[in-house]
Amino acid sequence: MKLSERIQSVAESATLAVTARAAQMRAEGIDVISFGAGEPDFPTPPHIVEAACKALTDGQTKYSKPASGLAALKKAVCGKLDRENGLEYSPQQVLVTVGGKDAAYLVMQALLDPGDEVIIPAPYWVSYPEMAKLAGGVPVIIEGKQEAGFCITPDQLRNAITDRTRLFIFNSPSNPGGHIYDADQTRAIAEVLSGTDVAVISDEIYDRLVFTDAELLSFAAVSADAYQRTITLNSASKTYSMTGWRLGFAAGPVELTKAMAKLQSQDTSGAATFSQVAYAAALNGDQSCVAAMREEFARRGRFMCDRLNAIDGVRCNPSGGAFYSFPDVSGTYARLGVTSSHSFAAKLLEEARVAVVPGGAFGMDANVRLSFAIGMDQIESGLDRIADLVAAGK
């Protein structure tokens, strides 16, 4: 059977591939510690589960009406954006999606024509370039230097814009870098785009998982100009440990959310109804569960960064948010007899039984990504194994 050129041009998600390989090895009885998955190890908070159970027993098991999202959830999303992000949206500007990944995919399908350029700062989430390709777009990568906290500069963005630029992707806090843009940096980036025809995806999926005192600013909240060009994305997955519930949302210009909803009506028909009820309960309910998870992630992140920096040949920036460390491990390559992040990760998995995601998948081959959304005992053991492998140097 001949496969389409489109699907052959797209890479498999590196994060999911690493997680699957680690799971396979465990099923074979091999003791593997996986830093691969971007998935909180906490259970979904009980009041959210209870809301879903009640929705099920109340018979809310039919198609979402409308397919673009239940009115109660759209109202809850508008409340969250107003309360936490300083953004005023109407329910008509909100689209509920099957996870945050679906929201990003729908945006690109709705906006991009073949040959349109999408500016993506590196390190980037693995799916951004592949989604752009699926929409016929051309990824244009600009690299944020580790010495500058992985953040790109306004000049880098300005120099990357051409008459084919259609979209810019802004992700803060970042997956995989764990870095954040403070309010002044966000304003400076937005100023570069002012007056252009470039749309913006502001992926704010980790906006509640911030570990610093830096003032953060949603991209759309910078100015009226930024508001008009920005589609803000978020999800239930990270904030409320609801990865398997598959819920996200997009908020932005009405004409764009309507176009995305039209496409959604032809693919998924919308998110599961009872899951939407649960997400509304999460957004409207007690937020102490979020604070508790954030505090624990911050503790783990500090520990991981310190331990990684203690390994000869490894350089790691502190994580300002999300739950990832993204160290430069290239100083170990010669000693370990490897030449890339992929061969480093392969050696680590096969010899130390530790799974990490190669940085090449995120646009930076000197680095690897480690998630600290796993228990502290696993973090300690996994880092011990990495340190031992590097020290042995064989």
User: Could you read off the pLDDT of 351-369 as tens digits, one per residue?
Assistant: 999 999 999 999 999 999 9
For residue 331, give the 3-state DSSP assignment. helix
Domain with CATH 3.90.1150.10 in the chain: 5-31+289-392
For residues 274 and 73, the answer to whether their CB atoms sit within 8 Å is: no
Q: At what angle do helices 273-284 and 46-57 cross, to 10 degrees?
A: 140
33 to 30, 153, 293, 366, 394: CA distances (angstroms): 10, 36, 21, 22, 21
Nearest to 109 by CA among 134, 141, 128: 134
pTM for the full model?
0.94
Q: Which amino acid is at 79?
A: G
Domain with CATH 3.40.640.10 in the chain: 62-284
Average pLDDT over residues 309-333: 97
Tokens matching residue 167: 């979209």
Average pLDDT over residues 117-140: 97
Average pLDDT over residues 245-256: 97
Provide the pairing of β-strand 117-122 with 138-143: parallel
Question: Please, which residues have CB within 8 angstroms of residue 245's CB and are 6 or more apart in sequence?
Answer: 44, 52, 236, 237, 272, 275, 278, 279
What CATH number is given for 62-284 in this structure?
3.40.640.10
Whether the predicted pLDDT of 17 surpasses 80: no
Whether the predicted pLDDT of 316 surpasses 80: yes
Could you report the per-residue pLDDT of 193-209, keeping only the tens digit for each?
999 999 999 999 999 99
* DSSP conformation letters of 159-204: HH--TTEEEEEEESS-TTT-----HHHHHHHHHHHTTSS-EEEEE-
Question: N- to C-terminal Cα distance for the chain?
Answer: 44
Q: What CATH superfamily classification does 5-31+289-392 receive?
A: Aspartate Aminotransferase, domain 1 (3.90.1150.10)
